[in-house]
Structure 1
Amino acid sequence: MSGFVAGDIPASGHINTDPFWPSIDLENLRATLRIDSSVTPARLETAVISAAISVNRELKTWRIEQQAAGFTKLSDVPGDIVEDIPEQVHLYKRAIEAATGAEVCERYRSYDTTNTGNHKAEELTPNIDDYRRDLRWAIRDFLGRNRTTVELI
């Protein structure tokens, strides 16, 4: 995937999951990840839904605890504010973006099976790993856990 955007990208909408979590603006996500028009809106929506299911499952226990404490949505949970938005909202969206980026990169490999396509797939592999790392870090930051676990053998 490159930063070049070829052609017009159809208008996007929002992905809404559990009312506790903020909606995901597909157009904003596309711009943040620099996803060009070769990824159709339907493919992007599918990738975001998959990401949301995965992230929401990982954060389910935390969400239940917050709802038991009386918070009906993530933005109501007390915490630090960054750019007028709760830090937890930023981290949640970052996790969704990273999971979506990895999914799109993995699927992008199947576009072209020529030597050029194989070379492009090899170039994307570090990006996929980077997105997976960013996803793990966003989840760990969200939960207030250390990013790295070191164990002596």
Structure 2
Amino acid sequence: MTFSGKPTTFVEQQIENDGFWPDLSVSEFQKGYRLPAEYLVELLVTDLTTAMVEVNRDLAKCKGKWQAAGITSVKSADPMVLPERTFHTATYKRAVYCRAKASLLTQFATITRRELAENTGKEAPERAETFLAFSQQAVRSLQGRGRITAQLL
């Protein structure tokens, strides 16, 4: 239950992915990333789906490289070909869930309007930026890149 008095209802809904990357769970997202109970299920699903598409696009080259090595799914990859598959599944979900939370946090101000209901933990712009950075770190990890890179122009 939140301070608003609205109980958090966990939604047992799966979001089907492309078959290569793992499917996503709305309840896993709600529990793991402590989303406010005020969010409608439809909003959660929409932002999760959008984040999934964006992360999949960011990882398209990585996916192509692994598919060329014979991997058809990260979850069922041969441990001799992709020994870190469990790590990759968890990192992929972190990339998507953090990106979705970053998007959702920017929308929180439109959900509660009373000044007394202001919650800087949910509404501060730097919260969304922090979760977007977490997502980008996870994507870079999956791509085999470090947190910081330099490019010769």
How many percent identity over aligned positions?
Answer: 22
Q: CA deviation at 1:41?
A: 1.0
Check if 1:80 corresponds to 2:84.
yes
Q: CA deviation at 1:116?
A: 4.6
Stretches of structure 2 that go unaligned for 5 or more consecutive residues are: none
CA contact (8 A) 1:51 1:99 kept: yes
Q: CA deviation at 1:37?
A: 2.0
Q: Which amino acid aligns with 2:17?
A: T
User: 1:3–1:126: structure 2 CA closer, same or farther, 3 Å change rule?
Assistant: farther
Q: CA deviation at 1:11?
A: 3.0
User: 1:101–1:4: structure 2 CA closer, same or farther, 3 Å change rule?
Assistant: farther
Aligned residues: 147
Query: Which residue of structure 2 lines up, in the alignment, with residue 138 of structure 1?
Result: 138
CA contact (8 A) 1:4 1:36 kept: no
Check if 1:61 corresponds to 2:61.
yes
User: 1:101–1:122: structure 2 CA closer, same or farther, 3 Å change rule?
Assistant: closer
Q: Secondary structure at the match of 1:94?
A: helix
CA distance, structure 1, for counterparts of residue 54 and residue 12 of structure 2: 22
Q: Which amino acid aligns with 1:134?
A: F
User: 1:119–1:46: structure 2 CA closer, same or farther, 3 Å change rule?
Assistant: same
Q: CA deviation at 1:123?
A: 4.7
Q: Deviations over 1:59-111 (max 9, x none)?
A: 01111221122111012151236xxxx11111100001110110110111212
Q: Scaled by the length of structure 2, what TM-score is found?
A: 0.83
CA RMSD of aligned residues (A): 2.7
